[in-house]
Every structure is written in C-alpha cells, then in structure tokens.
Chain A
Amino acid sequence: MKENNSSEIKWTRVIGEEHNLFKLKLNELFKYKDLLFRFIYRDFVTLYKQTILGPIWYFIQPIMMMLAYVIVFGNIAKISTDGIPQPLFYLSGIIVWNYFSECFLQTSDTFNENQNLFGKVYFPRLIIPLSKSISGLLKFCVQFLLFLFFFFYYLYNGVIINPSYYIALFPLLLIVMAMLGLGLGLVFTSITVKYRDLKFFIQFGIQLLMFATPIIYPLSSIGHSASQLKIRTFMYLNPFTHILETFRFVFLGKGEVYIEGLIYSFVFSFIVLVVGILIFNKSEKTFIDKI
C-alpha cells in the first residue's frame, strides 16, 4: 500500500533522470530573472569602483585605441579607409570588435571564474553567461554614444557621410554578434573545464581572428585578382566580415554588403548558439567534479 502511495506523489523535481538533451529549462531561467538583473547590476557598478574617472574609462579605452590605430595603421602603414574619416573608420571597428571579444572572453571563463559560487549554490548556470553578454551590450551602447558623437561631429563639419536606410539592420547586427560571442563562449567554457589547453588557444586565437576581420582595413582593399580571391573566399567565410562591412555601410555609406553573406552570418551564429547551449547544459551538471 505504502509503495502505491509514494508513486502517486507529485514530485516537483526528480534529479538524476535521463534528461532530454533539448529540454532547456527556459521556465526556470525565467524564474531567476531577478538574479540576471542583479548580476548585470553587479558587473556594472563594481567595474570602476574606487577609480577617480569612473565610467569615463568606458570612453578612454576606445579613444586611445582609435588614436593608436590612426597613427600606426592610418599614417605610418597608410592603409586605406575607403574614404571614410580615419577616426570614424577605426572607432566603428573597435567598438564592434570590443563587444564581441568581451562577450566571448567573459563567457568562455564562466565555469572557471565561478567555480566557488557554482560549488555552493544552485541556480541555472546559463544566467552567468547571459548576464555577461547583456552587460557587454550595455558597455557597447555607451561606447556607441562615443561613435555617434564623432559621427555627428563629421556630419556637422560637412564631411560627406552617407548613412543608409538599411540602418534598420543595426539591431540585427547586434543580435548576430551577441549570439556569436555567447555561443562560442559557451562552447569554449564547457570544453576548458576538463581540457585547459584551449585556454591558451583563446588568448591568441581572438587576436588572430581580429586580423582576419576587416577592422583595420576595409574589405574593398582586397582586390579580385586570382591570388586575392582566395583571401576573399576566406574573408566571406568569416561571419564578422559581413557584420563589420554592413555596420560601416549602414552608418558611413561605404562597405560591401551581401545579403547572402548576412543570411550566412545569421544562420552560422544561430547554430553556434544552439550548439553552445546544448554543450553547456550537458557539462554544467557535473563540471564541478571535473574542474
């Protein structure tokens, strides 16, 4: 009788059952939305605590980078900027790239950095990488203001800039970048739990990827001759190429935009994100034993 009774009990949760790989527990994620906001808030307020300049550092870093690029790549190496004013050209590359690399680097360190927290209390682990990519987005928005400042400065001074009506594509670009940064980060953090080798790869891999993306040069500087076509094919396969070129096209009027390329980037990053979440969900269950 007792056995019958216990089987009738409605359990809130059964731990240890074989879980469907595709069951993402999204409702649970929603239950913890307050925590998500708390983490974003934490990242934001603690970053520049006990600094004199505070949030101004959000601007100083890209400005200094931009100046360095203008001097080294613009004036010494004399790399073309497609006729776009050099500060605007480099700044656009820097803030877009910053967002992706921030998202990626922060999420790829999720397990390692939070092992103490994860070892003591349960909450949906996905909250941490999500909060990192959202606080990265906030940082991007602040830096985007800086870009807009330069943008209007040049517009006011009569430099011919032709923003396009396709500016409506801008949110899509953000989504694609966020998906890529988050997805790749999730894949990498899950694998580095056990195989720390990848950690070393990440450090220089992100720099290599930057050079493979038109940040300090425009895509148009690569010609269409037979030898350069190989490089072009490679560039087309890099989803960031399309993101950056489109970003520059919609704001500055110069850049090579291919609809197929955009669709490719979107599909690519979507797949990366899905794969990332699946791997993450699988490895979060026992990562604490393996790290």
Chain B
Amino acid sequence: MSDLVLKIERLGKMYRLGQFGTGTLSHDLNSFIAKIRGKDDPAKLITHKNERDVKAIHDFVWVLKNLNLHVNKGDVLGIIGKNGAGKSTLLKLISQITSPTEGLIKYKGNIASLLEVGTGMHPEMTAKENIFLNGAILGMKKEEIKKKFDDIIDFSGCQMYVDTPVKRFSSGMRVRLGFAVAAFLEPDILIVDEVLAVGDYEFQKNAVGKIKEVSENEGRTVLFVSHNMGSIRNLCNRGVVLNQGEISFESNNIADVIEHYQKGNSIKEINFNKVSRSGLGNIQFNDFKILNVNNVETKQFCIGDNIRFYLGLENYTQSNQSVQIAIGFRSSDDRVCSMIGNEYLDYNISLKPGFNSVKCEVFEVPFSSGKFIINVILKKNQITEDWIKDLTYFEIQGGSFISEAYTYPNNYNGIYLKHKWDDK
C-alpha cells in the first residue's frame, strides 16, 4: 500500500492581468458588493485559460485550473512544462507563499521549499551568521544548525571564509553556501525549483548527488521543477507535464513524460520560400524534419540520443538523378562540429522526377550541451544544386550518454566519447 504524503484536489489559482491602477478600487468594491449580496464575484465570471501566446481580452486568467495530484512517500516527482505553464505557481502554492483561489492542498509532515538558495542572506553578515539566519528562515532549530554546522561548512567548501561578510563572496560561493544549508534540512517533502542551474560542475554534482541521496536513502519525497531534461531523467522516478495550467500527462515512467513534453512543444514548419539558398535549383529541398527515435518531431535531445532526419526533395528535371546530400552541424559560436553525407558512406541516392523523401539517422550524438545549427547541401556530379545555410537547429541539454552518472563539466565543450574502463 503506497503511502500518500501530498494530495492536491481541484486546485485553481486565478491571477489578474495587466496593472493595478486606479481601476483597482472599483473592482474591489464590485467584488465586495457581490459578496455581501451573496452572489458570485463578477470578476471570476469572465476569465481566460492560461495561454501565454494568445492576446488577452478579459482581466483575469486561471494560471492553474482543476489540478489533481497524488504524491506518495519517497517519490521524486519531476514537474515539466513550457514557460508560464504554471509550474512555479504550483510550487508556490504548495510551499504556502501564496494561497490558492480554490481547491485544497493536503500534506503530511513538514515541507521545505528551495525556490532559491540563500534566501534572506544578509550581505553584511559573515558566512557563519548567515548560516544560522538562513537555517532559521528555512525552519531549522538553533541546536539543529549548531550540530550540523561543521558539515555545512564542509559541504559548502568555503572553510576559509567562515568569518567573512557574504558581500565579499562571489555569486557562486553564495549559492554554494545557500545550498549547503538547504542540503542539511530534514523535511519530509522537499521542493526544488531549478536551483541546480547555477554553480560550477563540482557544485552541481554535489547538489544532484545530495538530492538523490535524500530521496533514495532517507525515503523523502522530492518535487522537482526543471527545464533540464537530463537532470529530470537522472533524478526523478515519476513525472507530470503541465500545460496551460492543467496536467496534460502523468506517468511513472520518466522517459515517457519527457517524450510527451517534447512532443507537445509546437515546432514551426520551415518556410522554404524564405530560406537563403544558392545553387542551380534543378533539385531542391522542400521539407526538413528532426525526429527522435520514436519519430516524434522535436528540437531537444540529450547527449547520446539518436537523431533522425527526414528530408523532402523536389526533382524538377524529367529524369532520375543520382545526388550527394550532406548535413553540416555548427555550434552557436560558429564552430564547425561535424557533417554527415551519403557520399562518405558510399551510399547511392537516386531521385525520381517529382517529390522524394530521404531519411537518415545519427547514432549516439556525442556533442556537448548547446545549440547546433544545421546547413544542408545537395550536389549532383559535384555541382551544387541547392545549398541552404542556417536552415534550422536542434538543442542538446544534459546527458544520458554516460547514463547513470553526471554530465561533463559545464565549461567542457568538446565531444563525448563512448568508452569503457576496466581495472581487473
């Protein structure tokens, strides 16, 4: 029997659009009059669904609507969704920073939220004083902090600066200190919002390791929001996708959840009339799609994923044409990364007159995190027929390459090699 620790029922949160101004008072009066007359608040009658890219007509929006969620003890729940889907609002409601407009959140035990690390630290106070202050803000008792003080300092790796005011710290050191305090919290439910996105490699490794340790060994429950699919994949055993303030997908298989999320990201069709192209133009590209292994169109991949390309080609000549196609990858800082082409594999592609489609798969992409821009070129007998620069791009974030382990350091922008060690 699974042990329920958090239950969310019909949760809804309504926000006001636009600015608060002189109209605020009359709005409030209207709502108040409706309330004492026992009617529905007129403001709540006309509202929007949470759709970021649709123009607002009314004054109110439901950022979260009718949300139901059950979390069991020991779950590490990943919450993913587009910007503005309501992820942070959900975390804010659970951590009691603001109150829901409707619905209930029930929980057992105590909750600690890490929406930011080092919250409330005072720049004028020393690291030591700040550890006590920050710990107290997060709800720790004085004796508790005293007992763990040495461990906290060790974990933060700032032993030398214990008595230095925090304002002299680098921003990275502040984050380390803040996370060190948070790491020694002992809540039943821990809420983490993208705090891992900052800090250097060593820190990220420690932080991810700590969260893993907390959930696996001590059976604590973690709610984790991130845009980094790599860390979601590494950490979580369950996931939900938030979309327009509602849960659009929920599964115990984290890979499925990520899959669903990436599918949901709308991908704009490339307009081939607008691309800058050169070449003779007897044969031209007129479709290009980037797919994952399940043939779902996406632009987000993890290090080590397979990437599939789908190419549509129009042969304007009246005869079959044997062609060479190449796809080149450049990084966002204009470094040439690699290229693929049928010529190099000695594979012959023959195009019949009219429309043709060609597929290609790249195995275990070894690029490090970043954005990769795609150029395509089509040649016939070494003469360029169609050449499109900056056609589209894909992104690589986090990694499943070195599966269970962590990603390479952030500043490492070389390629990843699949390798194996043996010390027997």
Q: Is B119 an interface residue (CB 8 A)?
A: yes
Instruction: Contact check, A288 vs B142: say whether CB atoms are below 8 A apart.
Output: no
Contacts of B104 in A (CB 8 A): 14-17
Complex Cα spacing A17 to B106, Å: 10
Q: Give the contacting residue for B116; candidates A15, A39, A120; CB below 8 A.
A: A120
- B139, A42: Cβ atoms under 8 Å? no
Interface pair B133/A16, CB less than 8 Å apart? no
Shortest CB distance A14–B (Å): 5
Say whether A78 faces chain B, with CB atoms less than 8 Å apart.
no
Which residues 36-67 of B sit at the A interface, judged by CB distance below 8 A? none
Question: For chain A residues 4-52, which have a beta carbon within 8 Å of chain B?
Answer: 5-6, 9-17, 32, 34-35, 37-39, 41-42, 45-46, 49-50
Give the one of A12, A41, A121 with max B CB within 10 A.
A121
Tell me if A121 and B20 are in contact (CB < 8 A). no
Q: Within the assembled complex, what's the spacing in Å between the Cα atoms of A49 and B98?
A: 34
A78 to chain B, nearest CB (A): 45
B85-136, CB < 8 A from A: 92-100, 102-110, 113, 115-116, 119-120, 122, 124-125, 129, 132-133, 136
Contact between A121 and B115, CB atoms less than 8 A apart: yes
B382 interface residue, CB < 8 Å from A?
Answer: no
Report B183 CB to chain A, min CB distance, Å: 16
A260 interfacial contact with B, CB 8 Å: no
* Complex Cα–Cα for A243 and B401 (A): 74
How distant is the Cα of A250 from the Cα of B139 in the complex, in angstroms? 43
Q: How far is the CB of B171 from chain A (nearest CB, A)?
A: 16
Contact indicator per residue, chain A 254-290, by CB within 8 Å of chain B (1) or not (0): 0000000000000000000000000000000110111
Chain A residues within an 8 Å CB radius of B119? 116-117, 120-121
A-B contact pairs, 27 of them (CB 8 A): A9-B106, A11-B107, A12-B108, A12-B110, A13-B106, A13-B107, A15-B99, A15-B106, A16-B11, A16-B104, A16-B105, A34-B136, A35-B137, A37-B142, A38-B133, A46-B122, A46-B125, A119-B92, A119-B115, A120-B116, A121-B97, A121-B137, A122-B95, A123-B137, A195-B24, A286-B98, A288-B98
A194 contacts B by Cβ under 8 Å: yes
Alpha-carbon separation in the docked complex, A35 to B24 (Å): 35
Question: Does B15 sit within 8 A of A, measured CB to CB?
Answer: yes
Which residues of chain B are within 8 angstroms of A9 by Cβ–Cβ distance? 4, 7, 106, 108
Q: Chain A residues near B99 (CB, 8 Å)? A: 15-16, 285-286
Q: How far is the CA of A121 from the CA of B94 in the complex (A)?
A: 11
Distance (whole angstroms) from the CB of A126 to the closest CB of chain B? 14
Counted as pairs of residues, one from A and one from B, with CB atoms less than 8 Å apart, the total is 112
Asked if B122 and A16 make an inter-chain contact with CB atoms under 8 angstroms apart, the answer reads no
Nearest chain B residue, comparing its CB with the CB of A118: B97
- Bound: A32/B139 CA distance, A: 7
Interface hits, A144-201 → B, CB 8 Å: 194-195
Question: Known contacts A12-B107, A42-B125, A50-B124: does B100 contact A121 (CB below 8 Å)?
Answer: no
Q: Which of A185-229 contact B (CB under 8 A)?
A: 194-195
Interface size, B (range):
35 or more
Q: How far is the CA of A12 from the CA of B96 in the complex (A)?
A: 14
When C-beta atoms are compared, the residue in chain B nearest to A35 turns out to be B136
Does B210 interact with chain A (Cβ within 8 Å)?
no
Alpha-carbon separation in the docked complex, A12 to B136 (Å):
21
B160 at the interface (CB under 8 A from A): no
Give A5 to B103 CA distance when docked, in angstroms. Answer: 20
- Pick the contact of B108: A10, A16, A50, A195 (CB < 8 A): A10
Known: A38-B133, A121-B138. A15 touches B96 (CB 8 A): yes
Interface 0/1 of B133-155, CB less than 8 Å to A: 10011111110000000000000
- Contact (A12, B109) CB under 8 Å given A42-B122, A121-B138: yes
- Given A9-B108, A123-B139, the answer on whether A285 and B98 have CB atoms closer than 8 Å is yes
Contact, CB under 8 Å: A120 / B20: no
Say if the beta carbon of B345 comes within 8 Å of chain A.
no
One of B98, B106, B125 near A45 (C-beta < 8 A): B125
Shortest CB-to-CB span from A32 to chain B, Å, is: 7
A121 to chain B: which residues have CB within 8 Å?
95, 97, 113, 115-116, 119-120, 137-138
Q: How far is the CB of B282 from chain A (nearest CB, A)?
A: 61
A34-B142, A121-B119 known; A15+B20 contact, CB < 8 A: no
With A and B bound together, what is the CA distance between A286 and B92 in angstroms?
A: 11
Contacts of A288 in B (CB 8 A): 92, 97-98
Is B29 on the interface with A (CB-CB < 8 A)?
A: no
Nearest-neighbour CB distance to chain B for A25, whole angstroms, equals 11
User: Would B20 and A119 count as touching, CB distance under 8 A?
Assistant: no
Instruction: Return chain A residues, CB-CB under 8 Å to B138.
Output: 121
Question: In the bound complex, do residue A15 and residue B125 qualify as a contact, i.e. CB atoms below 8 Å apart?
Answer: no
* B105–A15 CB distance below 8 A: yes
Distance in angstroms from A15 CB to nearest chain B CB is 4
Task: Determine if B25 is an interface residue (Cβ-Cβ < 8 Å).
Answer: yes
Q: How far is the CA of A195 from the CA of B21 in the complex (A)?
A: 9
* CB closest residue in chain A, given B94: A15
- Considering the complex, which residues of chain B in the window 1-36 have a beta carbon less than 8 Å from any beta carbon of chain A? 1, 4, 7, 11, 15-16, 20, 24-25, 28
Q: Given the complex of chains A and B, what is the CA–CA distance between A290 and B140 in angstroms?
A: 29
Among A16, A34, A290, contact of B141 (Cβ-Cβ < 8 Å): A34
Contacting residues of chain A (104-153) with chain B, CB-CB under 8 angstroms: 116-123
Across-interface contacts of A13 in B (CB, < 8 A): 106-107
Q: How far is the CB of A209 from chain B (nearest CB, A)?
A: 25
Q: Point out which of B7, B100, B106, B124 has the most chain A C-beta atoms below 10 A from its C-beta.
A: B106
Determine how close the nearest CB of chain B comes to the CB of A57; give it in whole angstroms.
Answer: 15
Q: From A37, A46, A289, give the contact of B98 (CB < 8 A).
A: A289
Point out the residues of chain B lying under 8 angstroms from A37, CB to CB.
142
Instruction: Give every chain A residue within 8 A of B110 (Cβ-Cβ).
Output: 12
A122 touches B113 (CB 8 A): yes
Task: Provide the bound-state CA to CA distance between A277 and B58, in Å.
Answer: 34
In chain A, what residue has the closest Cβ to B188?
Answer: A12
Contact B20 A16 (CB under 8 A): no
Q: State in angstroms the CA–CA spacing of A288 and B129 once bound together.
A: 28
* B120–A14 CB distance below 8 A: no
> Lowest 4 A-B CB distances belong to which pairs?
A285-B99, A35-B136, A122-B96, A15-B105
Q: Which residue of A lies closest to B7 (CB)?
A: A6
For residue B130, which residue of chain A has the nearest CB? A42
Within the complex, the shortest CB–CB distance from A214 to chain B, in Å, comes to 37
